[in-house]
Chain A
Amino acid sequence: MTDILLKTSNLTVVYPTKRGAFKALDDISIEIETGKIVGLVGESGAGKSTVGRAVLDLIDAPGYIAEGEIDFQGESLIGKSNDFFTQIRGRKVGYVFQNPMTALDPVMTIGKQVLEAIYANTDLKGEQAYERALDLLTQTRIKDPKDVMEKYPHQMSGGMCQRVVFAIAISANPDLIIADEPTTALDVSVQRSVMDTLIDLCRQYKISVMLVTHDIGVISEYCDFVYVMRHGKHVEQGPTQEVINHPKQDYTRNLMAAVPRLSKRLDRFRVLETVTDAQSKAREVILRYFQESDFPDNDELLLQVDKASCIFNTKSGFFGPPKTTIGLDTVSFTQNRKEILGIVGESGSGKSTMGRAILGLQRLNSGSITYKGTSLTDNNGRAITKDIRLSMQCIFQDPFSSLNPRMTAGENVTFPIRTHKLLPDWLSAKELAENLMLSVGLEASAAYRYPQEFSGGQRQRIAIARAMAFRPEFIFCDEPTSALDVSVQAETLNLMKDLRDQYHLTLLFVSHDLAVVRQMCDRIIVMRNGAICEIANPDQIIENPSHDYTRSLIAAMPKLDLSA
């Protein structure tokens, strides 16, 4: 006899828009058994967060529940008053948001925010409530809870804030916790311990969990049962290991194939891709364009970084003295032509700073960088010619801010080339733009549309096309796929490998994700606090790490047992 805590039947949520009704959820039926951890997984736009919001009547206007039933502990939640929900929220269902920095009130102390929840949902008063708040913060493994009570959210790290959110969510011993991407906004190095805290507490107090996430690794590690969603619709469901290892639907199969694994290196991700005739023709055109600049096709030394160091002076606030933080700490490495060199590390490790320094976007305090035998750092880089400058390009992390929104995709790609008059006689700017669009897997007509009209993955392709337009030899890839859905990430990574092979590019690939780096790179640098921990080939880094920090990074990765 199973005990169903929460059940939705044929739930449909609609947002009216100018172009008709948009169904954020379309006929979704899920069940959560008491004491179980149930995952809702899907890529962006799947509607998975909307389920949780619908349960607590938190859907933003003008969205509304158009059809379906929600039953919680045998009682229907449809059409109930706001007062009724106030009794459910916090008391019976706790909620954890994705970003703790925006979920906590910025001008209220942590203590008041925890106490507020206790006052609202329990009978505890005064001293007892305060003790309970301290106890909750202790249980969520926050150090110095008494101090933390007096602090404001911005004074704490994201991981600590999320623990406060957990404390609030469990404060009234709820029966269910809805956790909406609880670790996505956090630094990789703390994701695991924060997630463990939540799950341990829920198991300890027999709280059921609805775990909403895009991360297959998290699902695999924590969930008993999983629902796969796409575009607001149900795809498939089942016990976690069964769905992950024996997916029945094509979509799920593709999704699983796109997840980068730490354990095994694949040449390419096995995702559905088709190369049209137009695209292969365009790649020929671009190849001819590249061959004109006549790069040597060898694997000799291209880049040499020697004892690079820099510090940041940050003005800290209104009342405080200036602070200095270490950006880079005597970093030395070399990179050969056609090599894909990966740098991994958490935020603040200096991995992006290193790339920016190579590109001349960040000045070094000491040390040198030599590229193709030319010093980029002597005399403030006076030896850098325009050819050298343009032969080093960048693909940025955030596809939503890396393109000029007031230029079409084509102008974004060709405006600098036209300005520098670098076009060969046989190729017009228009042709270059169209062929580049085709060769990165977009339609030729994409050149005439504005960046806002594209999805994140498509924009990242345009950004790749823009870098390609300069006929670069070296491309710094700054977390190029961390903002993308996993299936789009797989396609983008495949594309970058193809381009490297075809146009003899040298890539410096920065990522926080060890699994991605393992799939992409020939050698890997592990960085922490601005310094290099170790440099080795991927197999060695993963299977036989020599540095403690590397080991802890690997341990923090969710275990994903994929037989496929």
Chain B
Amino acid sequence: MTDSKIKDFFRDVIFGDPMTALGFVGVVLFLLVALFAPIIAPQNPYDLGAISIMDGQLAPGESLMDGTIAIFGTDEQGRDILSTIIYGLRISLFVAITASTIGTAIGIYLGLISAYYGGVVDSIVMRLVDVKMSFPGILLALMLLALMGQGVEKVILALIIGIWASKARVTRSAALGEIRKEYMRAAQLAGLSANQIILRYLLPNSIAPVIVMLPMIISGAIAAEATLSFLGVGVPITEPSLGMLIANGFDYLLTGYWWISILPGVVLVVLVLCINVVADRIREYANPALRHETM
């Protein structure tokens, strides 16, 4: 993509629609907050010296012992909810982005070699995909985590295992479409090696359908991680993500301390929504059959 195309893309696709623009700004803000969490958060909620049980279960807007106001209230141990959300956001985004990127990359790689080499390679990869796809992702992750135990890296691994297969399938079918085209024959006649053909000819022309899905994969991973953590098999309690915070607060929901669970949930929903609004727009733009209607 040339510079002017990137400029066009931002002007027409991202900022061409107010909702998308809002979503995009939201995503950027969330990323910045996550990146600079230690600077932005009012306290470090996991520094035991910084919190006091005396500040426990304050409603949003009440003052702490030291006089500062807890805008989002505090939890049962006196942690500032805003701070736990900011740190939780960091973990949620880290887990989701890492897992999505690695899972997608693995999927793309397997899809490409499967399409290019065909035969045995194709059979093996596609049987693996079939096995994976014949089982619902959430159950697979649940099962793996039940076996492996909790841990950030384990959640990432479980998500990767949930992500790669469909991306391999999508990349493969895109690549098969490209392989039929005549420029691939030309590359063969040019005596290029398999790696050169895959890297310079097949890859750049086959990844669009998956790359377009990437924002949606990330938002899906955020929601999946939150769900797993809520079910009690996700990240450990020492590194709580947004989902974990919701699960922790769930027990207090019926007793009136709604903010402990609801506020992290609101942030989670807004985050996923922002990503999906942008993702939707990009997907519509990328579908040539629909483009003339939207643009």
| Direct touching of A and B (C-beta under 8 Å) | yes
Residues of A within 8 A of B (CB): 18, 61-62, 359, 361, 386, 389-390, 392-394, 396-398, 401-407, 412, 415-416, 419-420, 463, 466, 470
A394 touches B295 (CB 8 A): no
Q: Which residue of B lies closest to A399 (CB)?
A: B182
The residues of A that contact B200 with a CB separation of less than 8 Å are 404, 406-407, 415
Q: A404-B201, A419-B196 are in contact. Are A470 and B183 (CB under 8 A)?
A: no
Chain B 183-207 interface residues, beta-carbon cutoff 8 Å to A:
183, 185-192, 196, 200-201, 204-205
The residues of A that contact B189 with a CB separation of less than 8 Å are 359, 361, 389-390, 392-394
The residues of B that contact A389 with a CB separation of less than 8 Å are 189, 191
Pairs across A and B, CB under 8 Å, 26 listed: A18-B295, A359-B189, A361-B189, A389-B191, A393-B189, A394-B185, A394-B186, A398-B182, A401-B181, A401-B183, A402-B183, A402-B186, A403-B186, A404-B183, A404-B200, A404-B201, A404-B204, A404-B205, A406-B200, A407-B200, A416-B190, A416-B192, A419-B190, A419-B196, A466-B186, A470-B190
B12 touches A420 (CB 8 A): no
Instruction: Give the size range of B's interface with the partner.
Output: 20 to 34
The residues of B that contact A419 with a CB separation of less than 8 Å are 190, 192, 196
The residues of A that contact B204 with a CB separation of less than 8 Å are 404, 406
The residues of B that contact A466 with a CB separation of less than 8 Å are 186
Q: A18-B12, A390-B190, A407-B200 are in contact. Are A396 and B182 (CB under 8 A)?
A: yes
Q: A62-B292, A419-B196 are in contact. Are A401 and B182 (CB under 8 A)?
A: yes
The residues of A that contact B186 with a CB separation of less than 8 Å are 394, 396, 402-404, 463, 466
Q: Which of A361, A390, A416, A463 has the most CB of B within 10 A?
A: A416
Dominant secondary structure at the B interface: helix
Q: Which residue of A lies closest to B292 (CB)?
A: A62
B191 touches A416 (CB 8 A): yes
A466 and B186 alpha carbons, distance in the complex (Å): 9
Min CB distance, A518 to chain B, in Å?
26
The residues of A that contact B188 with a CB separation of less than 8 Å are 361
Residue-wise interface mask of B (253-295) relative to A, using a CB-CB cutoff of 8 A (1 in contact, 0 not): 0000000000000000000000000000000000000001101
A420 and B196 alpha carbons, distance in the complex (Å): 11
Min CB distance, A434 to chain B, in Å?
20
A402 touches B182 (CB 8 A): yes
Inter-chain residue pair count (beta carbon < 8 A): 61
A396 and B181 alpha carbons, distance in the complex (Å): 10
The residues of B that contact A61 with a CB separation of less than 8 Å are 293
A152 and B191 alpha carbons, distance in the complex (Å): 43
Q: Which residue of B lies closest to A401 (CB)?
A: B181
Partner of B187, one of A390, A404, A463: A404
The residues of B that contact A470 with a CB separation of less than 8 Å are 190
Q: Which residue of A lies closest to B293 (CB)?
A: A61
Q: Which residue of A lies closest to B8 (CB)?
A: A18
Q: Which residue of B lies closest to A411 (CB)?
A: B200
B185 touches A361 (CB 8 A): yes
Q: A390-B191, A416-B192 are in contact. Are A397 and B182 (CB under 8 A)?
A: yes
A125 and B189 alpha carbons, distance in the complex (Å): 60
Min CB distance, A493 to chain B, in Å?
19
A361 and B179 alpha carbons, distance in the complex (Å): 13
Rank and list the top 3 A-B pairs by shortest CB-CB distance, nearest first: A416-B190, A406-B204, A396-B182
A386 and B192 alpha carbons, distance in the complex (Å): 10
The residues of A that contact B192 with a CB separation of less than 8 Å are 416, 419
Q: Which residue of B lies closest to A406 (CB)?
A: B204
Q: Which residue of B lies closest to A386 (CB)?
A: B191
The residues of B that contact A463 with a CB separation of less than 8 Å are 186
Min CB distance, A179 to chain B, in Å?
26
A416 touches B12 (CB 8 A): no
Min CB distance, B173 to chain A, in Å?
17
The residues of B that contact A402 with a CB separation of less than 8 Å are 181-183, 186
Q: Which of A390, A419, A470 has the most CB of B within 10 A?
A: A419
A61 and B292 alpha carbons, distance in the complex (Å): 9
The residues of B that contact A401 with a CB separation of less than 8 Å are 181-183
A407 and B186 alpha carbons, distance in the complex (Å): 13
Min CB distance, B192 to chain A, in Å?
6
A386 and B188 alpha carbons, distance in the complex (Å): 12
A402 and B200 alpha carbons, distance in the complex (Å): 15
The residues of A that contact B187 with a CB separation of less than 8 Å are 404, 416
The residues of A that contact B185 with a CB separation of less than 8 Å are 361, 394, 396
A415 and B197 alpha carbons, distance in the complex (Å): 11
Partner of A403, one of B12, B183, B293: B183
A532 and B293 alpha carbons, distance in the complex (Å): 50
Min CB distance, B110 to chain A, in Å?
21
